[in-house]
A and B are shown apart, each in its own frame.
Chain A
Amino acid sequence: MIFPSSAFAFGRIFFAVAFFFCLPLGLHAQETDDSDKNQKPKLAIHVGKILTSAGEPIANGTILVSDGKIEDIGPRSEIKVPEGYQEIDHSDHFAMPGLIDAHSHVGGSRDLNEMVYQTNPELRNWDQVIPHNNQLKVAIAGGVTTICYIPGSGTNMGGFGALMKTGPGQPEDVIIRAPGVLKIAQAGNPERRTGETGSGRMGMNYVIRQQLREGQMYVRQWDAFQAGEAPEPEFNLRLEYFKPLFHREIPVVVHTQQYQVIQSTVRILHDEMNLKVVIDHGTFDAYKIGKELAKRDIPVMAGPRGFLLDRDKGQVVGIVNEYEKRGIKVLGVNTDAPVIPQEELFFQASMAVRYGWSEERAIKGLTIQPAKALMIDDRVGSLEKGKDADIVITTGSILDPRNHVTEVFIDGRSVYDTKVDRQRF
């Protein structure tokens, strides 16, 4: 029995009264209920130290959250908490923007590679998004709030991927942008021994250029038609998603590594096709071409293989730091989850710091830099007024493996809280 009998009787009277009040307002009450369901909480989160990824850290800060967005942020002394805001005390904790993984395969079902053809621009993976799936639940406990969910590297052009939050909801709630990116994989994984042209590297470079050229022509024809300079071209569903790609509204994330291969990435995708290119992986000795990437402002999301034995120096070098030395501005890390578990994204940055990367750059490399690379920095990646309230609360710097995540907010909602949920890490 949950209620003592007297309270139960009182409850019944209360219910009757409440019922009478509700009666004339039946319809209205229902509307209120619906809006309550969609209403996002108003929060004032007080934090010991805020790493904003957008300027200096704020000591003793407050973040005001309403409607899923950051309403205001600043030192606690300067932020006035309005009436009706739930105050959450994290004054002995750190806050930072939700972590963003620029290369992940765990956003949905395991249908990663459609293996028959080398280029598959007709494929898209956001039909198979499974919001808040088991891997994403664990990812949240590691502070990851946004992922770039992409097809695999089994073919040259695996298809179009989606940018999504890791939190709960229906697919339309969690998807930030779809099509979010195009996935291209060069050398290595897509190599094969049979089938159509493109079993080796020369062939792959040929088919990728041919496919992109076809898309580029298609987009140009439509652009010309829209500008009134040409007749209406024939509709081709297979090439439709090339429109945002060649209009540079979405980037191409490229599975590419090694000096030789990354040269062809830069030459074909950036110089020849004029695409927004993101180097994903960029491992082995690829960093040696770093200056060429820096010259072109090409972002690098390095990893998950983070080190290389530099035989000339007889020294193990950290790949991220080698890119940093060569002047890459937009530089981050990735897990390629499930290759490295999604929740261990922070550890990619920790290890980069161990090999010489600065802590400040590493925090940005987990947050605002991937946001910039993926072209979603208007919504996520830093704690600033007007951005999505994706906030990670930790017991200290996330780069120190001794610390852990205590609470995570996505779109202003608490989705993981060690006070309530089991502490996973």
Chain B
Amino acid sequence: MKIPTSILFAICLLTATTVAAQDDAAVLYSAGTVYTMSGAPISPGQVLVENGKIKAVDSVIPAATRGDAKLVELGADSVLMPGLIDAYTQSGMGADSSDEVTKEITPNFRASRSIDWTATDMQQRLQAGTTTMCVCPGTQNVVSGIASIVKTGGEQVVNDDYALVASLCSDPTARNSSRQRPDSIYVRQPTNRMGVVWILRNSLSKVKQGKMDSPPIAEALDGKRPFFIVSRVAHDLSTAATLAEEFDFQPILVGGQEAYKITDLITDRNYPVILGGTTTGSMFGPEQTELCWNQAGILDKAGVTFCISGQNQLEQARFAHRFGLDADKALTAITKSPAKILGIDDRVGTIEIGKDADLVALQGDPLEFTTDIEWVMVDGKITQPRNTTRQAKGN
């Protein structure tokens, strides 16, 4: 007997709505293993969620605490882990609209102003387990603006006015280059790295000297605002350190594909690194960076504070683990560590009492390539039932 697809779809919708309707009421999720990321995994484990927050987490939550919470059995193989956190992304800003290309210094532009909450890539990130993202302006100009931290489920901004983002790489030259001799008066500096370094030095210097009024830059230099520097190749990362010393600030390095080559420099200065993706099918990364598949493992061994960003973070963590990063470190690198680097570890990143109920439910070991995501919860709301995930994967 065949059931029409439309009826199946209706049933799915109904299920999803029912679950969503319960978001304020207490629900007890009972899983095979709970990776709290604040201690050893609890197996079996239970997580009590109420009003979008985590009320309790334990092997067996006592009846007194549990009250009349509805029990949801996830199964013996199931895993609950914190929602994933991406510390650097342009997801949600829409393709090609995350950059400002007419001016090199735009420190007042803010990512949150141009987020499309219904964007497909935002939904895809959510389906892939990412519940919190730091959305950053693009890299096509030198000082591109202010990053905003948002949740992927629902229109929720965690920190509207977060880090200042600067590009210390070849990206800002991409659209300015005249290739050979300038053939137009509209060609603009920088056309190469020397120009990028100069424009950044010049603007930092001017702000420091009081010749240019830019509160975001001034705050970034004073340590009152995090300062993201996007650099990938080793010499650009070293230049970030050179400028940090010249102008006395503490950068957060973003990208860092060749950070593994200069771990001494990074640990000496204690710069956090937001790794721009670890998975690869090629020898070279962006800007012809020489990739090392165990870059995350090398950074970890050297004692660098780092996290893993990029599309499909679970796959990233699996890849990093596959090539040498310890299992718990691989999971930390997409949950607790990015939360710490972004300074939002009081709210997200671990499963602990009082934190946001941002959870990912899986059927099996999260670092196993065949393990699929069952659902993703943001603030107590299960926003992504499984079968839609399947559809998205087919895209």
Contacts and interface: CB of A to CB of B under 8 A. Distances in A.
A113 B235 contact: no
State which size class the interface on A falls in.
20 to 34
Interface centre among A108, A128, A195 (most CB of B within 10 A): A128
A116 B193 contact: no
A249 B278 CA distance: 46
Given A111-B194, A114-B191, A123-B198, A130 B234 contact: yes
B329 to A, nearest CB: 25
A151 B194 contact: yes
Interface in A79-123: 108-109, 111-117, 120, 122-123
A129 interface: yes
B235 A129 contact: yes
B238 interface: yes
Contacts, number: 88
A123 B194 CA distance: 6
Contacts of B176: 116
A327 interface: no
Interface string A221-248: 0000000000000010110000000000
A122 B177 CA distance: 18
Interface in A245-287: none
A154 interface: yes
B201 A237 contact: yes
Q: Is the interface of A mostly helix, strand, loop or mixed?
A: loop
Contacts of B170: 111
Contacts of A170: 238, 262, 265
Contacts of A120: 194, 198
Interface string B290-319: 000000000000000000000000000000
Contacts of A127: 193-194, 197, 235-236, 238-239, 242
A406 interface: no
A124 interface: yes
A171 B233 CA distance: 13
Nearest to A196: B185
Contacts of B22: none
Interface in B186-244: 187-195, 197-198, 201-202, 205, 209, 233-236, 238-239, 242
Contacts of B391: none
A422 interface: no
Nearest to A122: B198
Contacts of A304: none
Contacts of A124: 194, 197-198
Contacts of B178: 115-116
B235 A116 contact: no
Interface centre among A112, A115, A122, A129 (most CB of B within 10 A): A115
A77 interface: no
B181 A114 contact: no
Contacts of A123: 194-195, 197-198
A113 B176 CA distance: 13
Nearest to A151: B194
Contact of A116 (B189, B201, B209, B233): B189
Contacts of A122: 198, 202
B190 A195 contact: no
A108 B185 contact: no
A193 B181 contact: yes
B181 A128 contact: no
Contacts of B234: 130
B282 interface: no
A181 to B, nearest CB: 15
B96 interface: no
Interface centre among A109, A125, A154, A238 (most CB of B within 10 A): A109
Interface centre among A127, A130, A191 (most CB of B within 10 A): A127
Given A115-B187, A130-B234, A194 B192 contact: no
A135 B187 CA distance: 31
Given A111-B170, A122-B202, A154 B195 contact: no
A112 B191 contact: no
A192 B193 CA distance: 21
B233 A109 contact: yes
B214 to A, nearest CB: 16
A112 to B, nearest CB: 7
Contacts of B236: 127-128
A130 B265 CA distance: 15
A128 B187 contact: no
Contacts of B185: 194-195
Contacts of B192: 111-114
A116 B194 CA distance: 12
A115 B181 contact: yes
B67 interface: no
B184 interface: yes
Interface centre among B177, B189, B192, B202 (most CB of A within 10 A): B192
A159 interface: yes
A118 B191 CA distance: 13
A192 B183 CA distance: 8
A192 B235 contact: no
Contacts of B242: 127
B4 interface: no
Interface centre among B183, B185, B197 (most CB of A within 10 A): B197
Interface centre among B185, B189, B195 (most CB of A within 10 A): B195
B62 interface: no
A109 B258 CA distance: 14
Contacts of A115: 177-178, 180-182, 187, 191
Nearest to A160: B194
Contacts of A114: 189-192, 194-195, 198
Nearest to B243: A127
Nearest to A238: B202
Contacts of A171: 235, 238
Given A111-B192, A115-B187, A235-B209, A192 B181 contact: yes
Contacts of B193: 109, 111, 127-128
A170 B126 CA distance: 41
Contacts of B198: 114, 120, 122-124
A73 B268 CA distance: 39
Nearest to B261: A170
A105 to B, nearest CB: 12
A115 B189 CA distance: 8
Interface centre among A130, A195, A238 (most CB of B within 10 A): A195
Contacts of B265: 170
B321 to A, nearest CB: 29
Contacts of A109: 193, 233, 235
Interface centre among B182, B188, B201 (most CB of A within 10 A): B182
17 contacts: A108-B235, A111-B173, A111-B194, A114-B190, A114-B192, A115-B182, A116-B188, A116-B195, A117-B189, A123-B194, A123-B195, A130-B234, A130-B235, A192-B181, A193-B183, A194-B184, A238-B202
Chain A to chain B: the 7 pairs with minimum beta-carbon distance, closest first: A111-B192, A111-B193, A127-B239, A123-B194, A114-B195, A192-B181, A116-B189
Given A122-B202, A194-B183, 11 more contacts: A114-B191, A114-B194, A116-B187, A116-B188, A120-B198, A125-B194, A127-B236, A192-B182, A193-B183, A194-B185, A195-B182
